[in-house]
Amino acid sequence: MRFVKARDYRDMSRKAANILSAHIIVKPDCVIGLATGSSPIGAYECLVDWYRKGDLDFSGVTSVNLDEYRGLPHDNDQSYYYFMNKHLFSKVNIDPARTFVPDGMIADADEACRQYDAIVRATGGVDIQLLGLGRNGHIGFNEPDAVFAKGTHCVNLTESTIEANARFFASKSDVPTQAYTMGIQTIMKAKKILLVVNGEDKADAVEKSFFGDVTPLVPASILQLHQDVTIVGDEAAFSKIADRI
């Protein structure tokens, strides 16, 4: 695992965007795995900026997102599809037909998950997967559990995740309680992983995930077994591991 120290959120975002853009430049038809949440927004802003300046071309890029709330349509402003469209897809020249987010409106969970696994497989594999980190160590919506889930699956969100995400909704009771998420095996199959993490409230999760036991109780800990992981974090997120990196 490579730890890249950033001063603050802005610095973290620029560094992560630099890594992503290098991939797009070197392999214009790359497949990038994308995440939502507050952590990657700054990186998306940089990518949009560099696209506008003519430094980046997304016309050959395919994207697959990690997760989506079950039951939220694309035009719901809290859906992850809406988020991706707002922060990236509508602002760059990526082909909308090559942007994939799990379909939260497929009511049959098994069918929704089967379809998404087939989509990810059909891309030929993710070249670089961008991840955020949950305060409980989740990646995607793979919550702490007794086992690592393999493929795309439907999850019941934990109380801590619902609480963390309530800030984006009118009230906590509006936060959906289920989501479709790529599984751990799918994430681990990405050739490269790029995780961005910032803020004091993630410092515990950073320590447990990258220096603790590999356990499904801390889903991100599995990344210790991946051969190409880069973690870009700010000083606050790295505060508990500063002397070890």
Residue nearest to ligand F6R (CB): 132
Closest by CA to 36, choosing from 73, 77, 5, 7, is 77
Q: Is 192 in the site for ligand F6R (CB under 6 A)?
A: no
Q: Is 143 in the site for ligand F6R (CB under 6 A)?
A: no
For residue 10, CA distances in Å to 13, 106, 128 come to 5, 37, 21
**Cβ at position 103, least distance to ligand F6R in Å:** 15
What one-character DSSP code corresponds to residue 123?
T
Total of chain residues touching ligand F6R, rule CB under 6 A: 13
- Of 36 and 152, the one with the shorter C-beta distance to ligand F6R is 36
Least distance to ligand F6R from the beta carbon of 15, Å? 16
**For ligand F6R, the closer CB: 36 or 79:** 36
**99 lies in the site for ligand F6R, by CB under 6 A:** no
For the chain, the C-alpha Rg in angstroms (whole number) is 17
156 binds ligand F6R (CB under 6 A): no
Give the residue numbers annotated as catalytic, written as ranges.
67, 136, 138, 143
- Say which amino acid occupies 16: A
Give 29 or 101: the residue with its C-beta nearer to ligand F6R.
Answer: 101
The correct pick among 134, 183, 219, 233 for binding ligand F6R (CB under 6 A) is 134
How many angstroms separate the CA atoms of 203 and 108, rounded?
Answer: 37
The 10 Å CB-count burial string (b at 16+, else e) for 172-203 is eeebbeebbbbbbebbbbbebbbbbbbbeebb
Task: State phi, psi for 69 to the nearest 5 degrees.
Answer: -65, 140
Binding site for ligand F6R (CB under 6 A): 35-39, 66-67, 132-134, 138-140
